[in-house]
Amino acid sequence: MGKIEHSLVQKIVLDAGPIIHLEEIGRLNLLSDFKDILVPEVVWEEIEYHRPLALQIKSVPFRKIKVSSEIRNNVNIIGTAFNLDKGEKEAISLCIQHKGSILLTDDAAARLAANSINIRAYGTIGILLRAIRRNMLKPIEVIGSLEQIPITSSLFIKKNLLNEIIENVRKEYSL
């Protein structure tokens, strides 16, 4: 998993997953140190339906953005190839529209699609790990959040993979 370095990242584009999952574990505030937090209209509507309070957190200045129809049409081909839903296609389209932005999505196919067209993409786990490097959370707090995922979050992650990530954090920080 690559590192997200704040000095290089000014804009992030969000798919629904990270907003929902970070809010479920009480860590949505970890997005607050990004300069520009863009949410496509379709994703905004999905969040309003599933987790309406997530969009009202004052420390995270989400911006609802309309996607260019020309870019959207170009992304439909890759979206079909990777079997992406409308929100994922809109998020990738918005990344193209806002060059240099990073996509945050918990969908593996969406990350692959984004990477195939040179868009960096990360998910909820990446944001949690980034919080250690950014001194937003202590490693033990991140481990606690990771352990909460199967209990309080709808994020699907294989138990073995989650345990491996937790163990890597313990080893890296001598816990």
Domains of the chain by residue range: 8-124, 126-172
- At 2 the pLDDT is 53
Helix 139-152 × helix 159-172 angle, to 10°: 170
Name the CATH superfamily housing domain 8-124.
5'-nuclease (3.40.50.1010)
pLDDT of 88:
96
Residue-by-residue DSSP string for 91-157: HHHHHHHSTT-EEE-S-HHHHHHHHHTT--EE-HHHHHHHHHHTTSS-HHHHHHHHHHHHHH-----
pLDDT for residue 6: 46
- Residue 26 is encoded by which pair of tokens? 């009480």
Helices (H) and strands (E) in the chain, counts: 8, 5
Predicted pLDDT of residue 9:
56
Q: What is the pLDDT along the chain (175 residues), one digit of tens a residue?
A: 455 554 445 899 999 999 999 999 999 999 998 999 999 999 999 999 999 999 988 889 999 999 988 888 788 888 888 999 999 999 999 999 999 999 999 999 999 999 999 999 999 999 999 999 999 999 999 999 999 999 999 999 999 999 999 999 999 999 9
Quick check: 27 and 33 in contact, CB under 8 A?
no
Give pLDDT, residue 76: 83
Neighbours of 59 (CB within 10 A): 10
Per the CB < 8 A criterion, the answer to whether 43 and 12 are in contact is no
What tokens does 70 get? 């020309």
Q: Which region holds residue 135: left if phi is over 0, alpha if psi is between -120 and 50, else beta?
A: left
In terms of pTM, does the model score above 0.95?
no
Q: What is the CA radius of gyration of the chain?
A: 16
Largest pairwise CA distance in the chain: 50
